[in-house]
Amino acid sequence: MSINNFGRDIKALRTKRGIGSRELSRLAGKAETYISQLERGLIKKPDYNTAFDIMKHLGFTESGIDEFLDNFYQIKSPERIEAEAKQVANRDEARAAEIEEMWIQRQEEMDTDPDYQERKLQNEMNYESQWMMELFEKIEAKNEEIKKELSFNINKNMQTFEPVINNLYNLLTSMRDDRSSFEFFVGLFENDLSALSKENKERILKTVKEETDKYN
- Taking the C-alpha atoms of residue 76 and residue 51, their distance in angstroms, rounded to an integer, is 10
CATH number among 2.40.30.30, 1.10.3720.10, 2.60.450.10, 1.10.260.40, domain 3-76: 1.10.260.40
In tens, the pLDDT along 74-122 reads 899 999 888 888 888 888 888 877 777 777 777 776 677 777 666 666 6
The pTM for the full model equals 0.44
**19 band by pLDDT with thresholds 50, 70 and 90:** very high
DSSP letters for the chain: --GGGHHHHHHHHHHHHT--HHHHHHHTTS-TTHHHHHHTTSS----HHHHHHHHHHTT--HHHHHHHHHHHH----HHHHHHHHHHHHHHHHHHHHHHHHHHHHHHHHHHT-HHHHHHHHHHHHHHHHHHHHHHHHHHHHHHHHHHHHHHHHHHHSHHHHHHHHHHHHHHHHHTTT-HHHHHHHHHHHTS-GGGS-HHHHHHHHHHHHHHHHTT-
Per-residue pLDDT, 149: 84
Percent of the chain with pLDDT over 70: 89
Radius of gyration of the chain, Cα coordinates, nearest whole angstrom:
45
